[in-house]
Amino acid sequence: MTENHPTTTTKTRTLAGHQLAETSSHLLEVRDLSVTFPQPGGSVTAVRGVSYHVDKGEFLGIVGESGSGKSVSSLAVMGLLPSSAKVSGDILFEGTSLLGRSDKELSRLRGDGISIIFQDPLSALTPVYTIGAQIAEALRLHDRRLSKQAANVRAVELLKVVGIPNPERRAQAFPHEFSGGMRQRAMIAIAIANNPRLIIADEPTTALDVTIQAQILEVLQKAKDMTGAAVVLITHDLGVVAGNADRIAVMYAGRIVETGTVDQVFHQPSMPYTIGLLRSMPNLATAGHTRLVPLEGRPPQLSNLAPGCPFAPRCPVVIDACRTTEPPLTLIGTDPLNSSACLRVAEIASGALDRGHLYPVPEPVIAAERADVASENVLAVEALKRHFPLSRGSIFKQTIGMVRAVDGVDFEIKSGQTLGLVGESGCGKSTTIMEILELAKPQSGCVTINGVDVATLSAKERRTLRREIQVVFQDPMASLDPRLPVQDIVAEPLTVHGIPARERLQKVRDVLDLVGLDPSMASRYPHEFSGGQRQRIGIARALVTDPKIVVLDEPVSALDVSIQAGVINLLQDLQEKLGLSYLFVAHDLAVVRQIADTVAVMYLGRIVESGPAEQIFENPQHPYTLALLSAVPVPDPTVERSRTRIILEGDLPSPTEDINGCNFRTRCPLYKLMDAAGQVRCRSEDPIQRPVEGSRVACHHAEYIDLMTTTV
Amino acid sequence: MSMLDEVPIGDIAAGSPETSHSKKPVSRLRLVVSRLRSTPRFWVGIIGLVAIILWAIFGLVPNAWNATDLDVYNMGSRPTGLHWFGTSDIGEDIYAQTIVGLRKSLIIGLLVGPLAAIIAGVVGAVAGYLGGWWDRAIVWVIDLLLVLPSLFLFILLSPIFKSLSWVALIFLLSGFGWMIMARVIRAQTRSLRERDFIKAARFMGVDTWTIIRRHVLPNVSSLLIIDATLGVGGAILSETTLSFFGFGIQAPDVSLGTLLTAGQGAAATRPWLFIFPAAILVFTVLSASLVGDALRDAVDPTSGVNRD
C-alpha cells in the first residue's frame, strides 16, 4: 500500500467497469423482448415486450399456460429460434448483448455460459451415442485441451452427481436404455458439465411422474447449489415453482402480467389472472372441501389480439378502460421487483377488491335436481389379471417373459360414487380400464357390471350392455374423429343401437346443452373448438346413451390448468344430476382428491391401498401412498417450505421383473427402516390386502408407517 | 447442436398453425387449397392437364381429317398446312391419330389411377384394421404380386385380353397398380387403430365395417387422393409401354403407345411420326405428376417445400 498511485488507477478502472456494468448489473437481463413468427395467415407475435432479469445464483420461475410465450422467450435467450422468427428488444448476458451474434459465437456461450434442459429428454438426447459420450462431447466442445479419458472420467462423475446408480456402467448405455427420469438426469448432467452461470429448464418435469418429478427437482436444486448457477425454470405448474423458486414471473398472452417473490405472488397476487389461476388449481391442501373456481373462457389467439388487456374477456372485475388500453407492468407497492399489469392493481392491493371473492364460486347442484340413487354395486372387479407374454422370434415364437400389467386387481363402485384409480405411468391403470371396457371374458378374474358377469354375455347382450358403460379419453383431440362434425361424433353411440335419425339429433342437442355447449355448434368440426370444449364434446358423447357408469381416463390431464377446473366442476355436477358412477383414472392426486369418494392406489399391477378418499389422503397407511402424496407439489410456498418430502429412490421397476415378496420393497423407504426380521418378511411374503384404520392396505408393516415421517 | 435445434422448431411448427387458424375457423380443405394455390408447380401441372384434356376433346374440330381417313395424295408428307403433324406411309393424318390415341390413353389413365387407389384403400384398411390372420394373408398376397414381374404377367395374359375389348386393360392395369399404396394405407391404418377415437368407437360397440368406412377411410383419404392423381401419369405410361410392345391396345383402336410403335422405325428419317405423339405423352404425364406432387406437398405439411 506504499504505492498509492497504481491503486487509485485500478480503483478508477473498476469504477469505470462498474459504471459500464451498471447498465446491466444482472446476470441475464431481457429488455422489451418481442418475437414474431411470420405465418401465411398473418404473423403471430408470440412474445410481446417481455422484460425480466436474473441475478447470480437466483432461481426464477416463469409460469404460464401453453401459448403464453414462456418457452419462446427463453429459446430467444439461447438463440435457438428458427431463422424465420423476428426478434426485437435486447437480451444482455453478463452485460453484453446476445442478439445479432453469429451462431458460432452463441454456440461457444451455450453450454458454457448458459445451458438448457428440455422437456422431452428422449428427443433432446442423440439416440446413436452413449450417454457418456454425449456428456464428454459437451465437455470437450468447450475445453479443447481436455483429453478423451479425462472427459469420460468427468462424465462418470457428473452422472454420479445427478444420482444415477452405477455411473461407470450407465455411461456406456444408450438413451433408449434409460427411463424418462434417468434421461432427464443425464440432461441435467450435460447442462451442468461446464459449470454454466445460467441454467434454463424448460418444463423439465412435465413429462414425468410425480415421484420422479420430486427427484428431478431435487437434483436441479442440487445442481444449482453445486455450480452456483442461476436457474430459470419454465413451467405451467404453479406447484413446481412454489417450493424452489425465489422469484416468479407469470406470463399471459406473450407478456409478463405479474412478477414478485414467491410469497408475494402466491399470498398477495394482484393480477386477476394470477388470482384466478391459484383459485382454479385443485390442490391437495384444500381439495375435496371446496368447489373449484373455474377461470372462464380461453387464452386469446396471438395472431389477432384485440386492443386492451388480453385478459379482459375473462376477467371478472373488468372495467371499460381495460378494453381500450393494455395496462403496463406497474409497481404494486414499494418493492421494485413486485409489479403487476392490471389497471385496478391499487384496488386489489389495498383490499378494496377482495381477492378471495373476485371470482364467483359456482353454486352446487340444487337438491331438487339431484338424482337419488339406491346404493348398489354397479361395477365390481375381482382378481382381474392381464399378463402379456413377451416373445422372441418371428416364426417359432418362444416366450421369454411375462409382463404382469394387471396382476390381481379388486375394486367395486357403488352407484352415484366415484372411484379414483391412481398410480404412476406403467402401473397398469390403463390396462385395467381397457380390460373392463372390452366387456369380454378376462384372462383371469371376473368383471361384473350391474350384477352381470361379462364373461357370460352373448354378442347381442354385450352390445346392449355397452349403453350402460361409456368412456371419456385423455386427449380430447385424439378421441374425436377430425373428419366428422360434432353432431355425428356425439350421435355415434346411438347409431349402434339403431335409434332413428330425428331422435338422435334431439338427443345430441340435449346432451350438448347438458355439458354447457351451444347446441347450434353441432354442425362444426372438432378443430374449431378449444381444448376444454373438445373435452366437453367427449363427455357429451359418453352421456348420450344415458349410461350408468362412465370411465374417465385422465380426463383433465391434457388440459390447461385454467380450463381443468371447469371440466372437473362439470363432471361433479353431472354426477349429481344424473346419478352417474365414475371410474376416474388419473395420475394427478389433487384432481382425484377433488372428485373421488373412494380411492385405490395402484403399483405394478396391484392395488396397494384402497379406501375412502378422506382416509387415504389424510392418513395414508401404505408407504407408497405416503411417498406419492408427499411428492405432489403444493402451490403454496409456506407449506412447501415447511413440509418434509419423502423421495422415493429409483424408478418404477419393469413389470417383467420377478420380485419376490412385496413388489414395492425395492423402493420402499419403510423397508429400510425395519429390523432384520421385518425385512425378511417383506422379501419372502407377498402382502395381501388387510384392513388397517379404515382402508385396505397391502403392507406387512403398515402399523409402523409413522417411522417414515418421524425419522426422515 | 442440431439435436438442440430440432425441438424448438418442431414445437413452433406444431403450435402456430393451430393458433393462426383456430380463431377464424379454416377448414382443412380450404387450407390445402390455399397452399396449393401458392405452389407454381400446381399451376403449371393443372393448366397443362386441363389444356391437354380440352385439346383431346375439341382438338378434332378444326382439323379437316378424321383418324381413319386416308389421304392418298399426301402419303408420308411432312407437317404442312394441310396435315399439321404430317401423314403416315399410308396417308393417315398424324394430328387426328394423336388426338384419338390421346383420348384413349387419357381415359385409361384417369380411370386406372383412381381405381387402383380405391383397391389400395379398401385392401390396406381391411388388412391394417383387422390385423391377425387377415393381415398376414393380405400382406402375403401383396408381397406375391409385388415380386412377380408385372410386365411378364401382362404378356402372359395378353392373349386373353386381346380377345376382350380395350376396357379390360383398365382392370388389368389397376389390378397390378395398387400394391405399394395398399401397404402404405395398411401402415397408416395400424397407427390409426391405436388412436383414441377408433378405440372410442369400438367401445361404443360400432361394428368393424362401419369403423373402417366412417373413421379409417376418411382419415387416409388424403393419401388416396394423392395416390390417384400420381397414378394417372403412371397408368398412362404403363398403357403406352404395353401398347408399344404390342400387348395393350390392339388395332383398329389407337393409343399413344400404338402410335409410337408405328412411328419408331421412322424416328430418324421422318421424325414427325414419332416426335409429336412422344411429346404429347411426356407433356401429359408430366402435368399429371406435377399436380399429384403439389397435392402431396399441400396435404402433408412435413413433406418437401413446407419444411423450414
Give the residue from chain A lying closest to B29, CA to CA: A483
Q: Report the residue from A107, A118, A497 with minimal CB separation from B7.
A: A118
**Residue of A636, A23, A615 lying closest to A269 (CA atoms):** A636
pLDDT tens digits for range A217-263: 888 888 888 888 999 999 888 888 888 889 999 999 889 999 999 98
So what's the pLDDT on residue A403? 81
CATH, domain range B95-300: 1.10.3720.10
Distance from CA of B113 to the nearest CA of A (A): 24
Per DSSP, A376 falls in state -
Output A249 or A355, whichever has higher pLDDT. A249
User: Does residue A319 have a pLDDT over 50?
Assistant: yes
Q: Which residues of A touch B28 (CB under 8 A)?
A: 482, 527
Distance (Å, whole) CA A33 – CA A76:
9
| H/E segment holding residue A243 | helix A238-244
pLDDT at residue B306, as a whole number: 40
Q: What is the pLDDT of residues A634-647, one digit of tens each?
A: 888 888 888 777 87
The neighbour count for residue A110, using CB atoms within 10 Å, is 22
Alpha-carbon distance A324 to nearest alpha carbon in chain B (angstroms): 21
Assess whether the previous peptide bond of B252 is cis (omega < 30° from 0): yes
Å between B229 CA and nearest CA of chain A: 21
Question: Is the minimum CB–CB distance between A129 and chain B shorter than 8 Å?
Answer: no
CB pair distance less than 8 Å for B205 and A496: yes
Residue A164 has pLDDT above 80, yes or no: yes
DSSP A268-287: S--SHHHHHHHHHS--TTTT
Give residues 530 to 559 of A whose Cβ lies within 8 Å of B.
530, 541
* Cβ-nearest to B16 among A44, A83, A124: A44
pLDDT, tens only, A556-604: 888 887 788 888 989 999 998 888 999 999 888 888 988 899 999 998 8
A681 half-sphere exposure, CB direction, 13 A CA radius: 13
Say whether residue A186 is in contact with chain B using an 8 A CB cutoff: no
Does the pLDDT at position A199 exceed 80? yes
Chain B environment of A125 (Cβ under 8 Å): 3
Residue B11: the pLDDT is 33
Q: Which residue has the higher pLDDT, A400 or A174?
A: A174
Q: Contacts of residue A496 in chain B, CB cutoff 8 Å?
A: 204-207
For chain A, positions 26-65, list CB contacts with chain B under 8 A. 37, 39-42, 44, 46
pLDDT at A22 over 80: no
- Is A72's Cβ below 8 Å from some Cβ in B? yes
Q: Are the C-beta atoms of B196 and A474 separated by less than 8 Å?
A: yes
Of B8, B25, B221, Cβ closest to residue A528: B25
Q: Among A197, A218, A273, A215, which Cα is nearest to A562's?
A: A273
Report in angstroms the alpha-carbon separations of B51 from A434, A611, B255, B267, B288: 56, 75, 18, 26, 12
> Which residues are within 8 A (CB) of A493 and not within 5 positions of it... i.e. 6 or more apart?
A466, A467, A470, A541, A544, A545, B204, B205
Q: Quick one: pLDDT at residue B140?
A: 93
> Within 10 A of A294 (CB to CB), how many other CB atoms are there?
23
Instruction: Say how many CB pairs under 8 Å bridge A and B.
Output: 124
Residues of chain B with Cβ-Cβ distance to A482 below 8 Å are 28, 219
Model confidence over A418-449: pLDDT tens digits? Answer: 999 998 887 888 889 988 998 888 888 999 99
**Please, are residues A126 and A133 in contact by the beta-carbon 8 Å criterion?**
no
- Whether A157 and chain B come into contact, CB under 8 Å, resolves to no
Burial of A335 (0-12, 13-18, 19+ CB in 10 A): exposed
Chain A contact set for B3 (CB, 8 A): 124-126
Separation between Cα atoms, residue A259 and residue A272, nearest integer Å: 13
Specify whether the CB–CB gap between A362 and A569 falls below 8 A: yes
Q: Is the pLDDT of residue A7 over 60?
A: no
Burial of B53 (0-12, 13-18, 19+ CB in 10 A): middle
For residue A712, pLDDT beyond 70? no
Determine, for residues A67 and B19 on separate chains, whether the beta-carbon distance falls below 8 Å.
Answer: yes
DSSP string, A119-134: S-HHHHS-TTS-HHHH
Q: Is A665 a residue whose pLDDT tops 60?
A: yes
Domains of chain A: 270-357 (no CATH), 377-603 (3.40.50.300), 607-711 (no CATH)
Interface test with B, best of A36, A125, A492 (most B CBs within 10 A): A492
Nearest to A549 by CA among A694, A711, A439, A700: A439
pLDDT at A230: 92
Closest CA of chain B from A296, distance in Å: 17
Q: What are the CA-CA distances from residue A601 to residues A405, A446, A557, B27 (Å)?
A: 15, 20, 18, 43
The Cα–Cα gap between A199 and A192 comes to 8
DSSP per-residue codes, A50-74: EEEEE-TT-EEEEE--TTSSHHHHH
pLDDT of amino acid A279: 83
- Evaluate if pTM is beyond 0.90: no
Which residues 6+ apart lie within 8 Å of A696 measured at CB? A609, A610, A611, A689, A690
CB contact under 8 A, A107 and B214: no
Per-residue pLDDT of chain B (308 residues; tens, 9 = 90+): 333 333 333 333 333 333 333 333 445 677 778 878 888 889 999 999 999 999 999 988 887 788 778 888 888 788 887 888 888 878 888 888 889 989 988 999 999 999 999 999 999 999 999 988 999 999 999 999 888 887 788 788 877 777 777 888 888 889 888 999 999 999 999 988 888 889 888 888 888 898 998 888 888 888 888 888 888 888 888 888 888 888 877 777 888 888 888 888 777 788 888 888 889 989 998 998 899 888 877 776 554 444 33
- Of B19, B35, B195, Cβ closest to residue A303: B19
